[in-house]
Chains A and B, each alone.
Chain A
Amino acid sequence: QSGLTQPPSVSGAPGQRVTLSCTGSISNIGSGYGVHWYQQLPGTAPKLLIYNNNNRPSGVPDRFSGSKSGSSASLAITGLQAEDEADYYCQTYDTSLSGSVFGTGTKVTVL
């Protein structure tokens, strides 16, 4: 099975911690390739948030962290802020597709 599965939505109050899941398979996350996360604010292009499972590009707050275990990965946002309201996508390489694959996306709502 190709593709990565994410919950459609997650919500939390300001200051809370939320976790976004990303479930793959042996041909993608489980094959050992790194998992990457992107944040897409409304009406804008995606932005790299986490790369290779748990690394933050320069400028990304340390409130964002990633992890990977087996064929799944997760993104945690601690100290949730209103500006974090966006769509989040996981992404990796899929050996059976010989190409990249994105997750279905999770919309984060700050209550």
Chain B
Amino acid sequence: QLVESGGGVVQPGGSLRLSCVASGFTFSSFGMHWVRQAPGKGLEWVAFIDYGGNDKYFADSVKGRLTIARDSSKNTVSLQMSSLRVDDTAVYYCAKDTGNYKFSWYFDLWGRGTLVTVS
């Protein structure tokens, strides 16, 4: 399973760090994504980190403001968010890539999400 934490209320321009703890699979073998959903809106892919932590990709809407990292010793992936804007308000989901030591770019396990409110 995946369990996110770290959400909360932050002022525009502020920073926040989200974490996702994984269990039940070999964390070090799979890439991890963050996907967000603004209130009442659709899904938006945000970021991806590969199984080794070397390759990272970001949506244009967050590039330069968000960083992603992983700690395989703690089975954790994190999302450091800075220069937050009102339109970053969303539920942020952690999601597991299906590719075992490769990139598949789709998700077979999701967390319950953590709400970030920028106001």
Contacts and interface: CB of A to CB of B under 8 A. Distances in A.
A, B in one complex: yes
Contacts of A66: none
B34 to A, nearest CB: 11
B57 A105 contact: no
User: Which secondary structure dominates chain A's binding surface?
Assistant: strand
A105 B42 CA distance: 6
Contacts of A18: none
A100 B61 CA distance: 13
B106 A105 contact: no
Interface in B30-53: 33, 35, 42-45, 48
Interface in A23-69: 33-34, 36, 38, 40, 44-48, 51, 57
Given A34-B106, A99-B48, A46 B43 contact: yes
A45 B106 contact: no
A102 B106 contact: no
Contact of B60 (A47, A48, A97): A97
Contacts of B33: 100
Interface of A: 33-34, 36, 38, 40, 44-48, 51, 57, 87, 89, 91-93, 97-105
